[in-house]
Amino acid sequence: MELSLTKKLMVLVLFGRVYNLFSMKFIKNLFKSKEFLAIMVVLIAGLLASRTLLFQKGYFNMHDDLQIMRQLEMEKCFKDFQIPCRWVPDMGYGFGFPLYNFYPPLPYLVGEIFRLLGFSFIVTVKLTFALSLIASGIGMYYLAKQFFDRFGGIISAIFYIWAPYHSVDVYVRGAMNEAWALIFFPLIFLYSYKLISKKKNETIKWLILLALSWFGLLITHNLMVIIFTPIFGFWCLLWMWKEKNFKIIPKLIISGILALGLSSYFSLPAIFENKFTQVKSQLTGYYEYIAHFVSIKQLLITRFWGYGPSVWGVKDDGMPFQVGHVHWVITLVILALWLIGFYLVKNKKIKLKNLKTTDYLILFLFLVGWFAVFMTHNKSTPIYKLVSPLALVQFPWRFLTIVIFSFSFLAGAITIFVKNKYFLSALIFFVILFNWNYFLPEHGKLGKLTDEEKLSGVAWDMQQTAGIYDYLPIWAETAPKEPQKVVAEIVNGMGEITNTEEKTNFAKFKIETTGSIVRINIFKFPGWKVYIDGKEVDYFVPKEETWGRMWIEVPSGKHSVEAKFVNTPVRTVSNLISLVSWLGLGAYLMLQFKKWKKK
């Protein structure tokens, strides 16, 4: 893509600032450092896992085939200055949808950066998926390195990237948000550990980084927050007990409050306006958790790999649920080595570096990982019944995210007991080769497809209707059976509608009538207001309106009608909380930067 002169100048200015800030000497030292080499190894592992996404043209089949549609809708919101994006016009069969009022937006906000750089929608989605794989590996590297040394960090990172379920999220399910959630698990663990264990004069830095990591997870995947939060709680308790630092609890709470403040623009409406959708319908029938437990064979034994759906029971499942043979076997090996090492060290027969600082960590990760495995099996049903919010998870196999996080983190501990770098290198190559063919799209390659083909014809119709019951407003008794054809239509009376226009946050038209009832072909939902000649009027949904669209009475004459999507009180307050939180954080960081620059 050819850059304009203005963009070239901006790049040169940016380069100059970076040069002044870091200096060439720093950059040269960075390239020579072992840290850089380690990151390059992780980066290459991520690129290999993303090879078809990055180096092949075309697109691939996936379960959640709405990624391009969601990116398109996010872009339309930006163009219409509907920020933050909440209502999208093309979904819900064209009658609109409160998508980003409930669906976490972070991956699509990142995707907009790729769009601004000139990439197509298809390439944008592939790059966003690839970035999730690479970034999750880098995050895991820094976490594991904190406990197991640099080589241990590399092993954990590569195990994390190359876990079979990681491929399921990307190449089978197309679960963009879940793949992105895996970026924040290691970051949250890392910064909470540093906040608890490091010097007092550094706590503010770790408090802010922890808050930003939680912010990332909160606007990436609602259900992962439910699954991960208890694990995080036990993690903090472990290190507060180990460090004898329970005085840090207020700062952990402050970090949590800051994270909620930063994300409140999304989190609060998602919680308080959820009652206006039919989301509860997504907890019954096919989506009921009881139907999607998996077997021990599927988890630990079979090498089956498929691209089909998760179905009732286990017999006809077309989707793989492997923990990963190398992943679960190495946890047993490490536990055995830890028990032997613990005994020998305790009896002063040998010395093992890092064992003292990681003894309970190894046990913690082992127990968390295998407990998460248990939560995917039907024997865990009593826990789901006891803890009712777990029903929101829908698919118990989602706990495989915790499994691959815990087991991959634990894999780095092998460097405590095995020092032979040739063996450790062979282990890295083996896990990649063993899982190599999993990290491919269906049929092993991408199919030919353009943005124009994906956003037209039958493909467009399918994307308009897919997931329609996810957030269908409660005023709709049933989903529409045909797409929106016009913005508005006269259902009773005489007249003519002209000059129709619809964007993400408004629809307007002109009407000349002798008096009529007009149906605006947009779902009723809190935030929509209708104006006739600039004066707000009431709209209604009559009993015969089974699709939940807005109806208005228009008096005789020529009129301009406009429907606007505005903030509700909950959205206004939540936006204000986020704005204040971000401004406060920004002001603090600016002050710290000025102090650092003076030094």
Q: 421 and 500: one domain?
A: no
Say if residue 382 is in the same domain as residue 524. Answer: no
Q: 119, exposed or middle or buried, with CB in 10 Å at 0-12, 13-18, 19+?
A: middle
Q: Are residues 66 and 172 in the same domain?
A: yes
Q: What is the mean pLDDT of residues 15-19?
A: 53
Q: How is residue 375 annotated by DSSP?
A: T
pLDDT band for position 16 (cuts 50, 70, 90): low
- Cα→Cα distances 399→201, 332, 353, 429, 511, Å: 37, 19, 32, 27, 54
DSSP for 233-251?
A: HHHHHHHHHHHT-GGGHHH
Say which amino acid occupies 405: F
| Assigned domain for 461 exists | no
Give dist(CA 376, CA 104) in Å, integer.
Answer: 24
Q: Are residues 264 and 387 in the same domain?
A: yes
**233: number of Cβ within 10 Å:** 11
**Local structure of residue 447 (DSSP, 8 states):** B
pLDDT of amino acid 599: 66
**What residues have CB less than 8 Å from 132, skipping those under 6 apart?**
107, 170, 176, 179, 180, 182, 183
Average pLDDT over residues 473-484: 94
Q: Is residue 364 part of a domain?
A: yes
For every residue of 401-444, DSSP letters joined together read HHHHHHHHHHHTTHHHH---HHHHHHHHHHHHHHTGGGSS-GGG
Q: What is the predicted pLDDT for the residue at 160?
A: 98
Per-residue pLDDT, 3 = 44
pLDDT at 273 over 50: yes
Using pLDDT thresholds of 50, 70 and 90, give the confidence band for residue 470: confident
What pLDDT, on a 0 to 100 scale, did the predictor assign at position 494? 95
Asked whether residue 466 is assigned to any structural domain, the reply reads no
Dihedral-angle region of residue 427 (phi above 0 means left; psi in -120 to 50 means alpha; beta otherwise): alpha
Q: What is the reported pTM?
A: 0.91
pLDDT band at 595 (very low <50, low <70, confident <90, very high): confident
Q: Average of pLDDT values for 517-542? A: 97
pLDDT tens, position by position, 180-228: 999 999 999 999 999 999 777 778 999 999 999 999 999 999 999 999 9
User: Which pLDDT tens digit goes with each residue over 296-310?
Assistant: 999 999 999 999 999
> Using omega within 30 degrees of 0 as the cis cutoff, is the peptide bond preceding 84 cis?
yes
Residue written as tokens 């009723």? 524
Give the residue, 353 or 251, on which the prediction is more confident: 251
Give the pLDDT score at 24.
Answer: 53
| Residue that is last in its domain, among 427, 444, 461 | 444
- Judged against a pLDDT cut of 90, whether residue 555 lies above it is answered with yes
Does position 30 have pLDDT exceeding 90, yes or no? no
405 with 502, same domain: the answer is: no
Higher pLDDT, 598 or 599: 598
Q: Is residue 15 part of a domain?
A: yes
% of the chain at pLDDT higher than 90 = 81
**pLDDT the model gives residue 29:** 58
Q: What is the pLDDT of residue 359?
A: 78
Residue 152 lies in a domain: yes
Dist CA 148 CA 365 (whole Å): 13
Please indicate, yes or no, whether residues 263 and 346 belong to a single structural domain of this protein: yes
What is the pLDDT at residue 200? 73
Number of domains in the chain: 2
Report the C-alpha gap between 158 and 344 in whole angstroms: 30
Q: Is residue 574 part of a domain?
A: no
Residue 345 pLDDT > 70, yes or no?
Answer: no
pLDDT at 312: 84
Q: Which pLDDT value is given to residue 28?
A: 57
Judged by average pLDDT, the poorest of 34-38, 354-358, 445-449 is 354-358
Q: Does residue 246 share a domain with residue 113?
A: yes
Taking residue 386's Cβ as centre, other Cβ atoms within 10 Å add up to 8
Higher pLDDT, 34 or 432: 432
What's the mean pLDDT when you consider all of the chain?
A: 91
The CATH code of the domain that includes 499 is 2.60.40
Shared domain for 179 and 113, answered yes or no, is yes
**Mean pLDDT in residue range 353-375:** 87
Residue 173 lies in a domain: yes
List % helix, strand, coil for the chain (3-state, nearest 5): 65, 10, 25
- Ranking 42-51, 227-236, 279-288, 503-512 by mean pLDDT, the lowest is 279-288
The full DSSP string for 165-193 is HHHIIIIIS--HHHHHHHHHHHHHHHHHH
265 and 349 within one domain: yes
Q: Which domain holds residue 540?
A: 488-568
Mean of the pLDDT values across residues 485-502? 96
**Pairwise CA distance, residues 146 & 400, whole Å:** 24
The pLDDT of residue 1: 40
Q: What is the pLDDT of residue 207?
A: 96
Query: Are residues 492 and 422 part of one domain?
Result: no
Please tell me whether residues 160 and 268 are part of one structural domain.
yes
| Residues 214, 73 share a domain | yes
Q: Is the confidence at residue 275, as pLDDT, over 70?
A: yes
Is residue 573, in this structure, part of any structural domain at all? no
Check residue 31 and give its pLDDT. 60
